Structure 1
Amino acid sequence: MNADNRKGELAELKGQLRQLAGSRAPGVEDLKRELYKKVISYLTVGIDVSSLFSEMVMCSATSDLVLKKMCYLYVGNYARGYPELALLTINFLQKDCQDDDPMIRGLALRSLCSLRVKNLVEYLVGPLQRGLKDSNGYVRSVAAIGVLKLYHIAPSSCTDNDFPVTLKALLLHDSDPQVVANCLCSLLEILSIEGNVSEAALREKESLLHRNVILSLLNRFKEFSEWAQCLVLEVVSKYVPEDAQETHDMMDVLDDRLQHANSAVVLATIKVFLHLTMSMADVHQKVYERIKAPLLTLVSSGSAEQSYAVLSHLHLLVMRAPMLFASDYKHFYCRYSDPSYVKKLKLEMLTAVANESNTYEIVTELSEYAANVDVAIARESIRAVGKIALQQYDVNAIVDRLLQFLEMEKDYVTAETLVLVKDLLRKYPQWSHDCIAVVGNVSSKSVTEPKAKAALVWMLGEYAYDMSDAPYVLEGFVQSWAEEDFAEVRLELLTAVAKCFFKRPPETVQILGAALSFGFADANQDVHDRALLYYRLLQHSVEVAERVINPPKQAVSVFAGDQSSEIKDRIFDEFNSLAVVYRQPSYMFLDKDQRSPFAFSEDTGSSIIGPQSPGREDLPSDIDARDNDLLLSAHEKEDSRAVSNGSHGYSSSKFHTLQEFTDSAFAPRSPSPTQPIRNARATPLPPAAVSSTAASPLLAVDDLLGLGPSASAEPFPPLKLNPKPVLDPASFKRKWGQLTVALTLEYTFPAQAMVGLTGPQPLVRHMQTNSVQCMASGNAPLKFFFFAQLADAPANTGFFLVELVVTTSSGLASAKIKADDSSLAPAFADSLQSALSKFGSL
């Protein structure tokens, strides 16, 4: 319907409603119904029919209940948005509140309270007072909820007219159970509203938990609806009985609710039982046994959503009393028809109930899931097997099962298994021999996930002495450094290569040099810093480096990530709520003060993202010479090196300690004029203590590791820039199109600097004082094109071009740098970052 047709249709409707407003002719009510239905249908699809407000109100003078309902629906929808129109409804709503038909009285009172216009509060008080004393239960129940609506609009008007007191009286003495339930609902919400901490409110809260109130509710408990029963049970769960006998009497009254078909009633009853018996250890234990059967029945008989909610509560109970559910582990086996979220939770349940008696059956079942077509469930099942192993239940058999997963030759199965084997070795070092024998057969090319790569690399470094191919597998990882996208793997690779060097130095020395070289130029600041740390440790002393990088380790007893007991107790206190499903106390997902304003990125902060990932041409020459050798298998390497046994730079057979190797390596030597230096496959050296020696000279370390004099990654010398460079826009555009990006830079402006960055000009003027000129800038978003020139460069040469984009919300600036001489780009990046860091500091 276009705009013109709509206006015509509404005008026609308006005229028809006006004609029927005062008509008493036969059939008028039917015509009104048809017109009202059309208006409501327009309202439902989002068409604005507020222009018909007065006509709709005039036609409301009828005894037809259907017309009344549609009119109230229309009025309630537009009254809040059009307060001036809401005044038109007051007279007819107040009149309807005194109608002879109790249904019309109740509907009118509900509509009057739903207007929620603060200026109309004075018109609500009288109808509410009459409604709370009405002879009909429906009207009283509507009025009870109306009090709550009034409190949200004007709390003072609600309390000044003693509405909470009236609700309390109805709660105790009204004959209609629905009225009692609505009174309880309104009182609970009024007293729980944030900021309602007056002495009167506190007294009312205490009075709701008075023994007389609780007993009154329990005596009428079976009269309430399921919703009302849940409400009453929530109140009862906060009550503290006077003695043990009263506790037992209350539990006897509620015992049959455990067999209720509604899961909400069952869970609410369980919460009451658990909280009433918290101080009675023996009874509390029996409660667990009593509630087990109802919960297991709900898991298997309800919908998937109900099963998930009940399983979440069962998981909480199992964490508190795992032995009680150990014999019922088969209830948590996954069914084919279960959705993935239910299967995942059942796997957690199987992990939680595992003990010495059922571990074999549970692990056997979980092993079947590892071949599931649902990859996510297969992964979770493998993790579950690993968690059971970490609980010290029949570790021997579980380790065998995990190692069998590696033979399935599925990438995701291999990845998850490698991560778990790593954790097992950290906790049970005594299983290293069996695990490493199998892990050594895993092809590194089949491992593609970052966590799995990091786990494999960790094992290669940690058990390099036991894995004969460790240096050569690490060599392959180092060679593909440029293709590795995840800093987690590169960090682990640096450490693993260093550990391997301490254990098998002749075979790893040049691999370590290549890894450090790549680390110095890495875009990630953590990788760069770790490489620089390891280099300086080696420069200082090999003994110190080994003590820092590869110290003696003890078995891990507890892994991080488990919830604290305090958090679990707080979740238990909020049993039968979303806190159990979310596994967080409610304040963590409801209270805004507990939410962090934004999530920190791992790249937050200023860092130079150095030259684009180094390619093969950036490898040291000695590694280039080994390119063909890297493609050979382990046995082919053995054979090829056996042929050229006399050509190696080092022979491990004459070195028995790492210190002997480094002493020999630092000694002056003449490289072979005809053969490149290649790593020797040596018999792994036995671990030995490193004797204390003085720090080796810097050049000796560089020479040993195959690094050039610039490998120390010290800051670049400052560039001298032309304070007034000249470059016309056409030349800038041509150069920008011809040159490639030499490197990128990220910098985060501090908060005080962002205050002054109200537009492009402040930063443009600041950069000009640092010999960096602006070619163009924009304001949405803040974007700049800068250029600079070397001080003594000939005309049209020595230029640096920069595209800088600033995100004002976070202060993050990203820059692309192009240069006539790309080798000077890192030095210019230092100068540019230094200039940006000075902005806003003066």
Structure 2
Amino acid sequence: MAPPAHQTQRSPSPSQPSGRSEVSDLKLQLRQLAGSRAPGADDSKRELFKKVISYMTIGIDVSSVFSEMVMCSATSDIVLKKMCYLYVGNYAKNNPDLALLTINFLQRDCKDQDPMIRGLALRSLCSLRVANLVEYLVGPLGSGLKDGSAYVRMVAAVGVLKLYHISASTCIDADFPAMLKHLMLNDRDTQVVANCLSALREIWSSEASLSEEASKELDGLLSKPLIYYLLNRIREFSEWAQCLVLELVAKYVPSDSNEIFDIMNLLEDRLQHANSAVVLATIKLFMQLTLSMTDVHQQVYERIKAPLITLVSTGSPEQSYAVLSHLHLLVMRAPMLFSSDYKHFYCHYNEPSYVKKLKLEMLTAVANENNTYEIVTELCEYVANVDIPIARESIRAVGKIALQQYDVNAIVDRLLQFLEMEKDYVTAETLVLVKDLLRKYPQWSHDCIAVVGNISSKNVHEPKAKAALIWMLGEYAQDMVDAPYILESFIENWEEEDSAEVRLHLLTATMKCFFRRPPETQKALGAALAAGIADFHQDVHDRALFYYRLLQHNISTAERVVNPPKQAVSVFADTQSSEIKDRIFDEFNSLSVLYQKPSFMFTDKEHRGPFAFSDERGNLSIGVESADNVVPAQRVEANDKDLLLSTSEKEESGTTVNNGAAYSAPLYDAASAPLVALDTQPVAQALQAGLAIDDLLGLNLTTPAASAPAPPPLKLNAKAALDPGTFQQKWRQLSISMSQEFSVSPQGVAALTTPQTLLRHMQGHSIHCIASGGQAPNFKYFFFAQKAEDTSTFLVECIINTSSCKVQMKIKADDQSASQAFSDLFQFALSKFGMP
């Protein structure tokens, strides 16, 4: 038999109010306790106050108990006072009427006998931040600055700054800055002095642009008496206050070298401080003071080395990372200084990855002729690390050292040994480095190629490693017996290769191999050119077409272009300019050092790195244009078949370039392609003998070819409509059906200087933009489209990086089976953007 209904219902948890009744009960209980002095009343109030604060914290509106909370605050219990002030501060900011109710009891508490309550009340009063109540702050702040308790004076000094931000005129008219200055010069408590200094700097810095008097006062902070007054008392300050003083002293300009030495003598012991912020602030000051004194500046580097290394080895991982970042900056300016201390930068097994990575950069930076063997030996141990990212970084570090021309013989042997480890990620990273080494040291080609030739191409999966291997196959085809056949195997899997970089390298390597070993490579080259010309990626298509035209025009010219004499690369491009590095050094002891970029590059919007996009479409600017207002983009397609003709052929046939016809790509039929054996006969002689390049490579341009790239057959509704709200709702509900990355042509990137042209272009393909945003180099667009035959919708998030010419695309669709067809259509439309 079922139990009664009232027995099956569970009562709500006390910590989770079921509705207004819980708040009403709290209000009633608080009212009963208001003014009560019965034993245990404060304990009962504490429990009720805790409930109110917990409800407020989880987002329940308890503003209705405001008056009861104020009435219950008439107590000497500091815990109750703190909770009450927390409650009042939370609701007073958004409810000025309620804030007015708190003025009386806060002003009363500002005169309490307990200095802790006076300070807490004054802090809460200044934190109300209601412009209409500033007149009530002047009296308590004036009294607080003269209070006998250092805690109250400390709170009052910060309160003056809060008042200034609410009403600057009220703060200046009450002569609070002058009171702060007097307090700073005469107060015994160092924390009060520090708070006064901090408040004055901010107030006078803001006022300096408005009044000449404030500018003079700001200059007064950098006067010699004040600077020496602060320096003589710096040992009494807290760590935060010491950093504040050191930052101020760094802006002071000493009159002569004697004054510089006086300041450095006063701060010498700060280099031994346990706090890393104090040590780094002192180092920054020392380096700035001695910039014009070369010998002394070098001595400063020697002096700061030991404190920094100590902080790295004794601090937390976070502190070690921050100090190591500054050490790395110093090493880049004076590499020899830390070359003998390289063992301090060896990685420990229990260190986090970000610290290990930075230590590897340090080992690379301090490597020289004397310590290279020990450093490389240590780095080789890390290659077998279970932490794969660190193993990769270790291989890169070995390669960087080799490119610095330190003990190249031994390092090349070590790198070649990595290839024998038969680990995919080790092989991949090593191949990339071997390629760079061969570019700089061609004399090592024999040893390197002997080892690389034993690697199975089936075991190389990463795009950069494939590209490096293919580059070596093309560059050293005459030394690698199987080079043509390995390239042929890559070409056979052309359709399965997703990386455009690999396909580009494959085209070039096959061309190079063709000029060195024509009989074995001609079939592969024909297949590569045919596949490349039909490739959807614009860069691959253009390069294949360029190579085809070169071969058709003049074989000798093609060989000089594709296969020039080898030249060793002396210097690889640096990722940062010297100007940027100097800017970072000027911002020593700041986040600029950790981010390895000047502050303007991550604080100013126009200089930010990758644009931080939100998944919410609402954060982007709406850029919807109706179909009636946008002129459809005129699609002008070059007659590529006509472009395939050489200049002389055009002149003979009288053909003119027609931009109206679609282009037909040459087809390659491996089964019917004739294999012409050239034996030892040069390619040029074969062509001169009347053998056409199409016949030589197995190409057939006379056959009607399929258009490449041709738009997919999917039909879209040209007048599709979707409002932003529906778009946002669909975007949240639908899952991602396809995510791809592809390249956009440089012409398209250049045309992005006027983003509206892209919107009109895509609308010409029945793809409509509903929102856009971003700044160079990243632009973000949201597009939508609908099928012509039904209402199925496609939603697209498209991020275009103008620096790398890459596009990241995510598609969400009602009909996910049509996602691939729509993706092809979208990429086809985007590939035509910016083309003539």
Match of 1:82 in 2: 95
1:253-402 equivalences under 5 Å are: 253-402=266-415
Residue 171 of structure 1 pairs with residue 192 of structure 2 = no
What is the Cα deviation at residue 553 of structure 1?
4.3
Residues 484 and 490 of structure 1 are in contact (CA less than 8 Å); yes or no, is this contact kept in structure 2? Answer: yes
Match of 2:756 in 1: 752
The DSSP-based 3-state class of the residue aligned with 1:783 is: strand
1:171-570 equivalences under 5 Å are: 171-191=184-204, 199-570=212-583
Residues 523 and 675 of structure 2 are in contact (CA less than 8 Å); yes or no, is this contact kept in structure 1? Answer: no
Post-superposition Cα deviations, 1:718-765, rounded to whole Å, max 9, x if no partner, equal 99x9x9x9xxxxxxxxxxxxxxx9xx999999743688899x9x9979
Match of 1:703 in 2: 695
Relative to structure 1, the CA distance from residue 621 to residue 313 in structure 2 (aligned partners, 3 Å threshold; closer, same or farther) is same
Residue 42 of structure 1 pairs with residue 55 of structure 2 = yes
The DSSP-based 3-state class of the residue aligned with 2:670 is: helix
Residue 785 of structure 1 pairs with residue 763 of structure 2 = no
Task: Tell me which amino acid in the other structure corresponds to 1:134.
Answer: D
Residues 805 and 814 of structure 1 are in contact (CA less than 8 Å); yes or no, is this contact kept in structure 2? Answer: no
CA distance in 2 between counterparts of 1:281 and 1:204 reads 34
Q: After alignment, is 346-355 or 458-467 more displaced?
A: 458-467
CA distance in 2 between counterparts of 1:785 and 1:218 reads 75
Relative to structure 1, the CA distance from residue 570 to residue 204 in structure 2 (aligned partners, 3 Å threshold; closer, same or farther) is farther
Task: Tell me which amino acid in the other structure corresponds to 2:688.
Answer: D
Residue 128 of structure 1 pairs with residue 141 of structure 2 = yes
Residues 332 and 349 of structure 1 are in contact (CA less than 8 Å); yes or no, is this contact kept in structure 2? Answer: yes
Post-superposition Cα deviations, 1:577-613, rounded to whole Å, max 9, x if no partner, equal 111111111111122232268489xxxx9999xxxxx
User: Which of 147, 150, 154 pairs up with 2:163?
Assistant: 150
Task: Tell me which amino acid in the other structure corresponds to 2:605.
Answer: K
Relative to structure 1, the CA distance from residue 705 to residue 192 in structure 2 (aligned partners, 3 Å threshold; closer, same or farther) is farther
Residues 383 and 390 of structure 2 are in contact (CA less than 8 Å); yes or no, is this contact kept in structure 1? Answer: yes
What is the Cα deviation at residue 648 of structure 1?
6.7
1:530-679 equivalences under 5 Å are: 530-595=543-608, 598=611, 620-622=668-670, 649-653=676-680, 655=681, 657-664=682-689, 666-667=690-691
Relative to structure 1, the CA distance from residue 4 to residue 103 in structure 2 (aligned partners, 3 Å threshold; closer, same or farther) is closer
What is the Cα deviation at residue 43 of structure 1?
2.6
The DSSP-based 3-state class of the residue aligned with 1:782 is: strand
What is the Cα deviation at residue 326 of structure 1?
0.5
CA distance in 2 between counterparts of 1:346 and 1:494 reads 39
The DSSP-based 3-state class of the residue aligned with 2:411 is: helix
The DSSP-based 3-state class of the residue aligned with 1:151 is: helix
User: Which of 33, 52, 55 pairs up with 2:46?
Assistant: 33
What is the Cα deviation at residue 393 of structure 1?
0.7
What is the Cα deviation at residue 47 of structure 1?
2.9
Residues 517 and 711 of structure 1 are in contact (CA less than 8 Å); yes or no, is this contact kept in structure 2? Answer: no
Post-superposition Cα deviations, 1:791-823, rounded to whole Å, max 9, x if no partner, equal xxxxxxxxxx99774649879999999xxxxxx
CA distance in 2 between counterparts of 1:717 and 1:277 reads 64
The DSSP-based 3-state class of the residue aligned with 1:559 is: coil
Alignment size in residue pairs: 715
Residues 746 and 814 of structure 1 are in contact (CA less than 8 Å); yes or no, is this contact kept in structure 2? Answer: no
Q: After alignment, is 124-133 or 154-163 more displaced?
A: 154-163
Residues 802 and 816 of structure 1 are in contact (CA less than 8 Å); yes or no, is this contact kept in structure 2? Answer: no
Task: Tell me which amino acid in the other structure corresponds to 1:206.
Answer: D
Relative to structure 1, the CA distance from residue 511 to residue 315 in structure 2 (aligned partners, 3 Å threshold; closer, same or farther) is same
CA distance in 2 between counterparts of 1:278 and 1:746 reads 47
Match of 2:104 in 1: 91
CA distance in 2 between counterparts of 1:834 and 1:264 reads 51
Residues 571 and 585 of structure 1 are in contact (CA less than 8 Å); yes or no, is this contact kept in structure 2? Answer: yes
Residues 141 and 182 of structure 1 are in contact (CA less than 8 Å); yes or no, is this contact kept in structure 2? Answer: yes
Cα RMSD of the aligned pairs, angstroms, is: 4.0
Residues 157 and 196 of structure 2 are in contact (CA less than 8 Å); yes or no, is this contact kept in structure 1? Answer: yes
| Structure ID, larger Rg | 1
Match of 2:20 in 1: 7
Alignment identity in percent? 67
Match of 1:678 in 2: none
The DSSP-based 3-state class of the residue aligned with 1:433 is: helix
Task: Tell me which amino acid in the other structure corresponds to 2:220.
Answer: S
CA distance in 1 between counterparts of 2:495 and 2:68 reads 74
Question: TM-score, normalized by length of structure 1?
Answer: 0.77
CA distance in 1 between counterparts of 2:496 and 2:831 reads 32
Residues 311 and 323 of structure 2 are in contact (CA less than 8 Å); yes or no, is this contact kept in structure 1? Answer: yes
Question: TM-score, normalized by length of structure 2?
Answer: 0.78
Relative to structure 1, the CA distance from residue 205 to residue 533 in structure 2 (aligned partners, 3 Å threshold; closer, same or farther) is farther
Relative to structure 1, the CA distance from residue 119 to residue 304 in structure 2 (aligned partners, 3 Å threshold; closer, same or farther) is same
Residues 76 and 115 of structure 1 are in contact (CA less than 8 Å); yes or no, is this contact kept in structure 2? Answer: yes
Give the gaps of 5 or more residues in structure 2.
Answer: 1-11, 614-632, 638-665, 718-737, 769-781, 801-806, 814-820
Relative to structure 1, the CA distance from residue 162 to residue 110 in structure 2 (aligned partners, 3 Å threshold; closer, same or farther) is same
CA distance in 2 between counterparts of 1:503 and 1:270 reads 60
Post-superposition Cα deviations, 1:446-485, rounded to whole Å, max 9, x if no partner, equal 1111101001111111111222221111111111111111
